[in-house]
Amino acid sequence: MQRLLQIIVALVMALAILPARSQMRMNLGNDSPLQKLAIAHMYISNLYVDSVDDKKLAEDAIRGMIEKLDPHSAYSTPKEVKAFNEPLQGNFEGVGVQFNMLEDTLLVVQTITDGPSEKVGILAGDRFVNVNDTAIAGVKMSKEDIMRRLRGPKGTKVRIGVKRSGIKDIIYFTVTRDKIPLNTVDATYLIRPGVGYVRLGSFGATSHQEVVDAINKLRSQGMRDLILDLQDNGGGYLNAAADILNEFLEEGDLLVYTQGRVMKRQEFRARGNGIFRNGRIVVLINEFSASASEIVSGAIQDQDRGIVVGRRSFGKGTVQRPVDLPDGSMIRLTVARYYTPSGRCIQKAYEKGRKDDYDHDIDNRYKHGEFTCADSIHFADSLKYKTLKQGRTVYGGGGIMPDYFVPLDTTRYTKYHRELSAKSVIINANLRYAEKNRKALLKKYGKDVETGFKAFNADYQVPEALLDEIFEEGRKQKVEPKEGEDLEKTRRQIALQLKALIARDLWTMTEYFRVINEESDAVKCALEQLK
């Protein structure tokens, strides 16, 4: 009984942090579900034939309850909470390098500008071989373990052994860890005279300011119209989406509203002080654009502020409230749904407790032809809505249906190309090539982004020997083209991919997109609409 009393006391303490209204609806009488749970736990803990882990029992009970709810409610361990929050918070504390794993060695792709590693002289192309005298190369250490050794509280020091091309001995650097920014804007540039391009990878704590800075930069270069690329953007903070929308819409314009069983309707409206309220806007989305991406694209569409190009978005339109637990774990509980200004519910249909079916929705949409033919997408008349200013017909029922549909080109990448990518043959060949040729390429084209990239983009051709090396490595890994596959198409697409990756390695991620976007059907469609 003592154990039971301890559990009930803990439950009562938990109730103390809930709103009074919630407490009124709960009771701990003889027929209380909470008491039933506590009794079950007491008997399992005290009478079960084998010893049990009380902590795991509690976690399993929480997971069991949540699994019967919607697909977005979730339980996270303390470690998972940290990993989940870090990309959204806008920074972490570490040494400041972007890296990839080449075989079993950490290869520095870029150092963060003004970051701790750059300040002590670590360069792109360096290989980290040990950290604080612990070998991390050649020992099959996981990427997570390596990151754990490199990261640490701001102000602490870490000694890193580096192997540098052309230098026989290991070079040692003592790096003082610092806060490292996590940027969410992946690319910013003028894609055509007067047309700016901004690609946003997620909606984090710094996203609004990053987008404002990008727009101001592009306007200073003569931007009149904007392509906002939200393809593959899985979302993030609701406030970040609302703040970004505020830059585009007029005072009082409804941006989004949320509503749930207990949560009353909450509206987000534009304040009228946005910096880009006049130029034309095209928003790019695809089947992996979700949540905050759908809020932005839905509001732009409903308010007739711009057009949406691409494929129907994911359909994640629920609001999760974080519930922090005493041990640092967290429950993210769905408490409301998002609605676009016209009243469309962004959330696609789901059956409670059938998360597997929900997770396979994208695959099912692909099999049904939705990615290649707009006519494969059927909407009931009851899902028709009207935009707020021009009265155009738009559809609810989950996700945002674009104004201009861009089919997925399933013929662009051959199966051979996809298998080479899946085996990391292409990325590893690129890393080796960049490491060996970085100095020569920068000497030829120059470190300055604008002049260097312009010359590179006009002049550079991927060496045939590099492509042959990729195909030879593929053969070693038993990846070979099937009879009848278009090898010339494979060579062209891999060459384009490599050119974009090399541009990224020499300069920034923006240059990657400056290469790859010239072959993007969605970007081409956006530019056509702006004509």
Q: For 92-146, what is each residue's pLDDT tens digit? A: 788 988 888 877 788 888 788 778 998 888 988 888 999 998 898 888 788 778 8
- Of residues 191 and 80, the one with the higher pLDDT is 191
In percent, the amount of the chain with pLDDT more than 70 equals 93
List the alpha helices (DSSP H) in 180-282.
Answer: 207-220, 238-246
**What gap in Å lies between CA 371 and CA 365, rounded to an integer?**
7
Question: pLDDT tens digit string along 227-283?
Answer: 999 999 999 999 999 999 999 999 999 999 999 999 999 999 999 999 999 999 999
* Residue 126 annotated among the catalytic residues of the structure: no
Q: What is the dihedral of CA 436, 440, 446, 449, to 10 degrees?
A: -20
Tokens of 7: 């559990």
Residue 86's pLDDT is: 64
Owner of token pair 């697409």: 493
Residue 316 annotated to the active site: yes
Q: What are the tens digits of pLDDT across the range 139-164?
A: 878 877 888 889 888 999 999 999 98
> Is-catalytic flag, 291?
yes
Tell me what the pLDDT averaged over the chain comes to. 88
> Which residues 6+ apart lie within 8 Å of 458 measured at CB?
none
Q: Looking at 302, 361, 403, 505, which residue is catalytic?
A: 302
Residue 26 pLDDT: 47
Q: What is the pLDDT of residue 90?
A: 61
The DSSP bridge partners found for residue 162 are: 128, 171
Q: What is the pLDDT of residue 91?
A: 66
Read off the pLDDT band of 30 (50, 70, 90): low
Concatenated DSSP letters for 300-362? HHHTTSSEEEES------EEEEEEE-TTS-EEEEEEEEEE-TT--B-PPP--TT-HHHHHTHH
Identify the active-site residue in 126, 316, 342, 348: 316
Task: For residue range 433-444, list pLDDT tens digits in order.
Answer: 998 999 999 999
Residue 12 has pLDDT above 70, yes or no: no
Which pLDDT does position 88 carry in this prediction?
A: 62
**199 CA to centre of own chain:** 12
Q: Contact, 452 vs 446, CB < 8 A? A: yes
